[in-house]
Amino acid sequence: MTTILSANLGYPRIGEKREWKKAIEAFWKGDINEASLLSQTKQLRLEALKKQKEQGLDLIPVADFSFYDHVLDTAVAFNIIPKRFQHHDPSALSTYFAIARGEKDAVAAEMTKWFNTNYHYIVPELKDTEPKLIENRALHYYQEAKQELDIDGKPVIVGPVTFVKLAKGYQEDELENWVNKLLPLYEQVLQELAEAGATWVQIDEPVLGTNLSEKEIEIVENVYQTIAQNVNGIQILLQTYFETVQNYKRVIQLPVSGIGLDFVHGDNLSIIQKFGFPSDKVLGAGIINGRNVWRADLEEKYQLLEEIKQAASVDTLIVQPSCSLLHVPVTKQLEEKLDNVVKGGLSFADEKLTELHTLTTALRDGKETVKEAFLASTQAIDGLNQSEYRNQTPEAARQDAKRDLPFTERKKRQQEKLNLPLLPTTTIGSLPQTVEVKRTRTKWRKGEITNEQYEQFVEAETKKWIQIQEDLDLDVLVHGEFERTDMVEYFGEKLKGFAVTEFGWVQSYGSRCVKPPLLAGNVEWEKPITVKEIAYAQSLTDKPVKGMLTGPVTILNWSFVHEGLPRFNVQDQIALALEKEVLALEEAGVGIIQVDEPALREGLPLDRLKWPAYFDAAVNAFLLATSTVKPETQIHTHMCYSEFGEIYEAIDGLDADVISIETSRSHGEMVETFETNDYKKDIGLGVYDIHSPRVPTLEELEANIKRALETIDVEQFWINPDCGLKTRQEPETIAALEKMVEAAKLARKEYAAIKQN
């Protein structure tokens, strides 16, 4: 008879009302001391553990907490401290935050997306480091849970191969060497956990869902064979997620006690049915979607578990989420304003714990023991499927969208119209949202001020910042987006088919949290969304003001899309809705329209064989939204952390007139990609990092511009920050932009002199 256990893989850090974020930011501002920060965050951790214990979970994750990012935690614990921070105490919290955020004389470490999610991790820098164990974090949090709550927790650790694959500062042929350097430290962590009494440890190796080379899979095999030989007394659950496990037949032979597989994404069930699963290993069945917020169909999940049991024939089966619940909000219980049909169809982290408990009970004791929960699940899902969200008739998408004229011809017409200087300067879109901006919006939402008062406030902020931008002598201005909460949520509030939450926050990077809208049904554009604010901004200046929109791929990837909706179809619906907004902006006289796609790279499947279909759909959606404008209308787009070389053809296919890429933390590496890609359109590589509060020096900016112009033609290059400025303070923003404009003018003089000579 199969033993059925329940487990979680990780719990949200941020608290029900973002208490974690508020404590950390208060610490950064100096409003609370370190002791207070540690006390407040410990309380949040213990509350999360209590919830999981009360749900009867057999395996509760510990060490899934972080003050910023779990990959950074791993790096600092192993003394992987970038050289520019090595004069600090490696065990100090101030050092940890300095690496993440930068300091006056040292830029922050690079940040990029965690596989194909919207969570960002800090990229470890291996060069010039000497690994050693500074702190056994897993042991600390294991002991805390044991002592405070009598929980025999399951420590969560980023696996050595995944950690090194996500790092930088080494050559490709040095991968094995770096893994072997870290391996004794992992063994020490595991042995200390075993000696402390830990029964299980979860080692996350999501890299096993990617296309590893023969050499890389050999490295994986060596790692776990070595650990099995040298560490005794603890069971390893090797956890994979986000995709079908590649090299499955070799992975299941690794000498570990259990393997966790994702049965939501990819096709791991078919793989097990074809190749079986070792009967002497525990199988972690990830059947509750850890990356989405929609209620599970319990009947469907129960049948899936029965199929898994039959295909695997294991002694022990663990019912668990597909991945950490880091990627979903904490609880839907706070949502008092949501449509009841939508709310009934939701399942946030706490509700997912209940679903895990229900399914575990059904497998152990029979479905009859939890029949009311099954019935409630069916009724909620049927209610949403039969609602008005699903009864719209979507517009049919075109498959041959393209601009009327080639870029070279468009550029001539656009320059005649815009008359921009060499190396034009601009920003990415958003400007600082101060405490006053946020407070006023909250008052408006609560009904404490009228719509007219709120609009007057937004207009005043817009007018102030148009004047600031003119005083700074920027060439292309933005209206600042003071009316917007978030670049995706704002459009979710305005487009039919979406719903928005009050407390549906998830961590994006560091203390930055976002509130993805809920995409519940077919999408339609009903009326202009951005035209009024942008037209007002344009009326205040003779310089061009960019229209600012979020693109269809990003809206899709940064929303919680109901699993019953075909993703590419919905993406086209969003694109057609945005096309109407683009044309409305053009009709209002807006000559530059930026359609941001920061999520284009992150949405890529882990399996490269699935890339072509993804790229085709993404490119077509962008062109649906943008291709029907006049040739004189300049289309911009912006992307985050994109490995340009990997997605070059797709970016080129977007046919945007200007693309800006968020690359300041890895500026030189991005420039190198242009040495092998002959990109013809205009481009802006962010010349300074907006995720750090430090103001760049003029010398840094000049160096970044000069490095880019060694490869990119001066006629193509735009100068801008690497992302929106929403999260920055006003003084530092003005100071940084002042330096940026000064650097641009110096570069213009230099190239004018070269041309004259």
Q: Which helix (H) or strand (E) holds 99?
A: helix 93-101
**DSSP letter assigned to residue 127:** T
Residue 297 vs residues 55, 288, 378, 451: alpha-carbon distances, Å: 19, 10, 7, 41
Neighbours of 439 (CB within 10 A): 10
**How far is 50 from 62, CA to CA, in rounded Å?**
12
Number of Cα atoms under 13 Å in the Cβ half of residue 685? 32
The three-point CA angle 588-596-678 to 5° equals: 110
Number of Cα atoms under 13 Å in the Cβ half of residue 399? 3
Going by C-alpha positions, the residue among 744, 742, 735, 734 that lies closest to residue 468 is: 734
Residue 449 vs residues 9, 439, 453: alpha-carbon distances, Å: 44, 11, 6
**DSSP letter assigned to residue 335:** -
In this structure, the strands spanning 512-514 and 200-204 are unpaired
Phi, psi of 273 (to 5 degrees): -60, -30
For the residues of 556-623, what is the DSSP string, one character each?
HHTSEE-TTS-HHHHHHHHHHHHHHHHHHHHHTT--EEEEE-TTTTTTS-SSGGGHHHHHHHHHHHHH
3-state secondary structure of 651: helix
Give the annotated binding-site residues. 18-21, 113, 428-430, 481, 512-513, 558, 596, 602, 638, 640, 662, 723
Going by C-alpha positions, the residue among 144, 148, 142, 150 that lies closest to residue 61 is: 142
The identity of residue 310, as a single letter, is: Q
Judge whether 1 and 313 are in contact, CB under 8 Å.
Answer: no
Residue 81 vs residues 84, 183, 631: alpha-carbon distances, Å: 8, 18, 50
**How far is 628 from 141, CA to CA, in rounded Å?**
56
How many residues are present in the chain? 757
**And the tokens for 200?**
């299980």
Give the annotated binding-site residues for L-methionine. 428-430, 481, 596
Going by C-alpha positions, the residue among 497, 493, 517 that lies closest to residue 505 is: 517
Give the annotated binding-site residues for 5-methyltetrahydropteroyltri-L-glutamate. 18-21, 113, 512-513, 558, 602
Judge whether 658 and 639 are in contact, CB under 8 Å.
Answer: no
Rounded (10°) CA dihedral 560, 565, 567, 569? -130
Judge whether 122 and 99 are in contact, CB under 8 Å.
Answer: yes
Residue 675 neighbours by CB under 8 Å, 6+ apart: 711
**How far is 499 from 519, CA to CA, in rounded Å?**
7
For 343-363, the three-class secondary structure string (H helix, E strand, C coil) is HHCECCHHHHHHHHHHHHHHH
**How far is 315 from 278, CA to CA, in rounded Å?**
10
The identity of residue 377, as a single letter, is: S
Report the side by side order of strands in the sheet with 316-321.
Answer: 3-6, 316-321, 282-288, 258-262, 235-239, 200-204, 154-158, 61-62
Catalytic residue among 120, 327, 562, 691: 691
Give the annotated binding-site residues for Zn(2+). 638, 640, 662, 723
Judge whether 44 and 389 are in contact, CB under 8 Å.
Answer: no
3-state secondary structure of 162: helix
Query: Most distant CA pair in the chain: distance in Å?
Result: 87
Judge whether 620 and 572 are in contact, CB under 8 Å.
Answer: yes
Rounded (10°) CA dihedral 643, 646, 649, 650? -60
Q: Can 691 be counted among the known catalytic residues? A: yes
**And the tokens for 592?**
């530059």
Cite the active site residues. 691
